[in-house]
């Protein structure tokens, strides 16, 4: 028996032909990148290990980085050891450890007061340190109030990644609505925590400009809401860690939510 709903279905598919991935892929090919997804384990690791939260490498000549607003020790969100990156990405940000600190002090509302969603906020710190092992004097336990459980990064899994329609347009590729919809359905750019790839922008394309040379900074890492960190950026926002290619000491974390 002919079902009336099937007639409607057929009509709909005729009037807006479904885009197919095999025909879209060649159009995107030159903008394909590899994104690396961290494999993690909830465990304490040594101070130079790559990790989310926990205890990072701190030198004997410094104190744990504190927030400029509340003066409390900031959460370690991420530490990446350049020796533990995927083999092809070893020179990504320079030698040593990239560290991301972020104040999660709700009593003082540092995130809001310091507008931590913008790059270079006073309640965040992103830096690369290259300490010799003899100067590392990290505490055994995190001094952060309500420190998140540590997750050690024990490996990486690669996936192909593509930019969103807006970023593609900036690159000179204009997609049809059906092609943009398909890209969205395929979940590109990929969400979740990842190294490199293309940023999953919740709002528009927002690479911070380097304060030294004004050039848009480059994506290093994406930290998504509640993936490896039990933390939500605003309302299911997504954060990006970026670095200037010419000025390696210019690094930032920034995020947006809908
Ligand atoms: Zn603070
Ligand atoms: Zn620069």
- Rounded to whole angstroms, the Cα distance separating 23 from 240 reads 31
Find the 119 Cα to ligand 1 centroid distance in Å: 16
Class of 19-256 per CATH? mainly beta
Q: Which residues pair with 80 in a beta bridge?
A: 98
Q: Which ligand is nearest to the CA of 71?
A: 1
CA 251 to centroid of ligand 2, rounded, Å: 10
pLDDT higher than 60, residue 12: no
**Could you give the CA distance from residue 185 to residue 70 in angstroms, rounded to a whole number?**
42
Give residue-wise pLDDT tens across range 174-233.
999 999 999 999 999 999 999 999 999 999 999 999 999 999 999 999 999 999 999 999
d(CA 100, ligand 2 centre) in Å = 19
- 94-137 pLDDT, tens per residue? 999 999 999 999 999 999 999 999 999 999 999 999 999 999 99
* Ligand 2: centre distance to CA 242 (Å): 11
pLDDT: which is higher, 17 or 87: 87
Distance 114 CA to ligand 1 centre (A): 8
Are 195 and 86 contacting, i.e. CB atoms less than 8 angstroms apart? yes
- Predicted confidence (pLDDT) at residue 6 exceeds the cutoff of 60: no
- What would the pLDDT profile of 17-65 be if each residue is shown by its tens digit? 567 999 999 999 999 999 999 999 999 999 999 999 999 999 999 999 9
Query: If you average pLDDT over residues 156-175, what whole number do you get?
Result: 97
Task: Tell me the domain boundaries of the chain.
Answer: 19-256
Burial (0-12, 13-18, 19+ Cβ within 10 Å), 1: exposed
Please state, in angstroms and rounded to a whole number, the distance separating the CA atoms of residues 44 and 140. 10
pLDDT of residue 19: 76
* Mean pLDDT, rounded, of the chain: 93
* Ligand nearest the Cα atom of residue 73: 1
């Amino acid at each position: 028996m002919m079902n009336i709903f099937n007639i409607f279905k057929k009509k709909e598919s005729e009037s807006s032909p479904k885009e197919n991935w095999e025909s879209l892929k060649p159009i995107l090919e030159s903008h394909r990148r590899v994104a690396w997804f961290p494999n993690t384990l909830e465990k304490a690791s040594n101070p130079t290990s790559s990790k989310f939260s926990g205890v990072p490498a701190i030198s004997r000549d410094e104190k744990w980085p504190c927030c400029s607003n509340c003066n409390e020790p900031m959460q370690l969100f991420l530490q990446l050891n350049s020796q533990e990156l995927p083999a092809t990405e070893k020179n990504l940000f320079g030698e040593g450890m990239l560290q991301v600190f972020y104040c999660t002090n709700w009593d003082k509302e540092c995130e809001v007061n310091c507008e931590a969603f913008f790059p270079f906020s006073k309640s965040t710190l992103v830096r690369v340190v290259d300490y010799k092992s003899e100067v590392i004097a990290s505490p055994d336990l995190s001094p952060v109030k309500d420190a998140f459980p540590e997750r050690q990064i024990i490996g990486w899994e690669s996936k192909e990644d593509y930019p969103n329609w807006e970023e593609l347009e900036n690159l000179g590729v204009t997609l049809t609505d059906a092609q943009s919809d398909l890209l969205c359905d395929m979940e590109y750019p990929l969400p979740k925590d990842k190294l490199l790839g293309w940023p999953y922008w919740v709002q528009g394309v927002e690479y911070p400009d380097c304060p030294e040379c004004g050039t848009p900074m480059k994506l290093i890492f994406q930290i998504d809401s509640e993936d490896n960190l039990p933390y939500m950026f605003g309302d299911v926002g997504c954060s990006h860690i970026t670095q200037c290619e010419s000025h390696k000491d210019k690094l930032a974390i920034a995020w947006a939510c809908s």
